[in-house]
Amino acid sequence: MDVLFYHLTESTLEEALPPLVEKSLERGWRAVIQTGTRERCEALDSWLWTWREEAFLAHGTDRDVHPEHQPVLLTDAATNPNGAQIRFFVDGADPTGVDGYERAVVMFDGHDAGQLDAARGYWKSLKSAGHAVTYWQQGPDRRWQKKA
């Protein structure tokens, strides 16, 4: 299984996450976004409804009615009630439970030493577990560049 590490250096998670989720939906995939805390889950829930003036990203949380019907589901737990093919791990969420997905994405803040250290550890453990890991970093133009 592919695990992509996205190193945020030029933009915030709020700026970088929605376009990646939209690309996943364009592939016909459902997505789960796992946050490190419940508070962060609720904040992203609000943000995704208003992140772009001309559109919104249809989604729900695992506490909403019928989470299984959501194309994008936000959670702070390691569950997959909407049958997602891709899982995003953000804000320090532990990505060790990646089995059962087509792809996993670990997004981490390059300005947060704790997230950097955790990402390095997750990279090593996921690679040694046999997953195909790749590393992407933002360039000055905020575009993703494959580094490893």
* Total residues found in the chain within this entry: 148
Model's pTM, two decimal places?
Answer: 0.95
Angle CA(102)–CA(108)–CA(111) in degrees, nearest 5?
165
Q: Write a three-state SS string for the chain.
A: CEEEEEEECCCCHHHHHHHHHHHHHHCCCCEEEECCCHHHHHHHHHHHHHCECCECCCCEECCCCCHHHCCEEEECCCCCCCCCCEEEECCCCCCCCCCCCCEEEEEEECCCHHHHHHHHHHHHHHHHCCCEEEEEEECCCCCEEECC
Q: What is the pLDDT along the chain (148 residues), one digit of tens a residue?
A: 999 999 999 999 999 999 999 999 999 999 999 999 999 999 999 889 888 877 778 899 999 989 999 999 999 999 999 999 999 999 999 998 898 999 999 999 999 999 999 999 999 999 999 999 999 999 999 999 999 8
Give the CATH H-level superfamily of domain 2-146: DNA polymerase III subunit chi (3.40.50.10110)
If one counts every other C-beta atom within 10 angstroms of the C-beta of residue 74, the result is: 26
Q: Where are the domains of the chain?
A: 2-146
Backbone angles phi, psi at 73, to 5 degrees: -125, 130
